[in-house]
A = this chain, B = another copy of it.
Amino acid sequence: MSVRIVIADDQALVRGALAALLALEPDIEVAGVAADGAEALALAAEHAPDVCLMDIQMPGLDGIEATRRLRAASPATRVLIVTTFARPGYLRSALDAGAAGFMAKDAPAEELADAVRRVHAGLRVLDSALAEESLFEGANPLSERERQVLRLAADGRSAAAVASEVFLSAGTVRNHLSAAIGKTGAGNRAQAVRIAQDKGWI
């Protein structure tokens, strides 16, 4: 009785290579591959796989949101997040969304098949160092408004431009940014953006 899986990753080369790697295992069967979250949902509905390997960074529907919807639509399919960026905030979001496992892409290739089997067996799979860091860091300290404003400021918009997007005064936007700068421990908004992205807070 083999484990049936679906793989979702936007980079075709990586997707195909992961499929090749897992297809080598006698007890794992690759039922399908998806290039984004929406495709992953469709494939999961069609094939009802045991496990879905899910990247976070994907165009359109990202891996976190896709996990949330997949858990709601097909509770029998368990999700193993496999991500380039081992950010503490991502781990938390992934678990909140209902993921059963979380692996960074710099983990040894030999561990992947085992992780799939463990997730299939109903166990959680976590990078222990990252889990520790996630606890140590504490939760995302930014308020909803602060995240929103910081996201908009992230691609270099001025305070006035952000203000008109969210229907606030420019002063208020600067105030939220100032709060975000304080909470991230940054010295200005550019650093705040970097730190927040690095921790997976925005």
Q: Which of B17, B84, B158, B187 contacts A17 (CB 8 A)?
A: B17
B13–A106 contact, CB under 8 A?
yes
Interface contact A12-B156, CB-CB below 8 Å: no
- Asked whether A12 lies within 8 Å of B108 as measured between CB atoms, the reply is yes
Collect the chain B residues with CB atoms within 8 Å of residue A11's CB: 84, 105-106
Q: How many copies does the complex hold?
A: 2
Instruction: State A24–B24 Cα separation when bound (angstroms).
Output: 10
Contact (Cβ within 8 A) A109 B17: yes
A18 lies within 8 A of B24 (CB): no
Contact A12 B105 (CB under 8 A): yes
Q: How far is the CB of A109 from chain B (nearest CB, A)?
A: 2
Specify which chain B residues have a CB less than 8 angstroms from the CB of A109 in the assembled complex: 12-13, 15-17, 19-20
Residues of B within 8 A of A155 (CB): 190-191, 194
